[in-house]
Amino acid sequence: MLVLVAPGQGAQTPGFLTPWLDLPGASDRVAAWSDAIGLDLVHYGTKADADAIRDTSVAQPLLVAAGLLSATALGTFAAGAAGSPGAVAGHSVGEITAAAFAGVLDDTAALGFVRTRGLAMAEAAAVTETGMSALLGGEPEVTVPHLEKLGLTPANVNGAGQIVAAGTMEQLAALEANPPEGVRRVVALKVAGAFHTHHMAPAVGTLQKAADGLTVADPTVTYVSNKDGRTVATGADVVARLVGQVANPVRWDLCMETFQQLGATALVEVCPGGTLTGIAKRALKGVKTVALKTPDDLDAARALIAEHTTPAV
């Protein structure tokens, strides 16, 4: 069974959208999305520097646009169609991309919602100087109490020996000076705030108002929520979780447990891929993976999809 996944913030790099815009119709599509949400996605995806695309209000729509564009390039993902994934999921903002994959939101609605999300989270992040750092290695039962002692939140529990801590810059500096036992490295992430913590609580109300105006459908494929790794059957529940997740931890470790329970044999990560496939290689032994970084990766992804999905009848 194929799982299609979308990465979260921090996966973006300068110019990463450039080769994708050479695909037929891609430039026009992204330009139309840009007009719809009032943000020049073409500029930010091709010419902007690392600092510009680190801005939460820019990075989040850019990531969703890239995910939708690269998934479309793979082919159709309608329920029951050839190459349809058995399940979809996203890490942090990637959940909005996954919601579009599952038919819960159309592409324009997904991009409008993520534009609101990015702006609201950027505003919340401006209140206090905060950030996030990835801890590589260590055991959760040792790491989590250590983080809590420092006043930090285990904002992303990713599995495969990786937890992401979030909090104030002073708290993160204390963590770097005094990492938990067993942690090999503490790596500052390219994000502009302590996402998935209480620091983001002001954004929840804004997102709820935006969610109230959405036209929502039930998922057409199995949708796995990063709140708790559970599958979600209704569009209303998916959207409610999208609203709440900005101020609550991401449990990607539980998502991967669900992938295993569902019988996953292959995982494709949409552009800008690499982070989630890297985790999967360590945590999902025997599951084949492909990360979409440039259009050059499409053939390998299509071959994997053909091998691990049931042809349409």
Q: Which residues are catalytic?
A: 92, 196
216-to-83, 103, 192, 226 alpha-carbon distances in Å: 24, 8, 30, 19
Angle (nearest 5°) at CA 283 between 279 and 285: 120
Residue 59, strand partner residues: none
Please give the sequence-ordered ranges of beta strands (E in DSSP) within 82-202, or none if there are none.
87-90, 130-137, 153-159, 162-168, 183-188
How far is 92 from 111, CA to CA, in rounded Å? 15
Q: Please say whether the beta carbons of 175 and 150 come within 8 A.
A: yes
Query: Following DSSP, what letter does each residue of 240-292 receive, concatenated?
Result: HHHHHGGGS-B-HHHHHHHHHHHT--EEEE-SS-SHHHHHHHHHSTT-EEEE-
Question: Which amino acid is present at 307?
Answer: E
Please name the residue ranges forming H helices in 184-251. Answer: 201-212, 235-244
Question: Which amino acid is present at 225?
Answer: S
How far is 70 from 263, CA to CA, in rounded Å? 25
The contacts of residue 147 (CB under 8 Å, 6+ apart) are: 153, 154, 163, 165, 175, 180
Tokens of 55: 């801005």
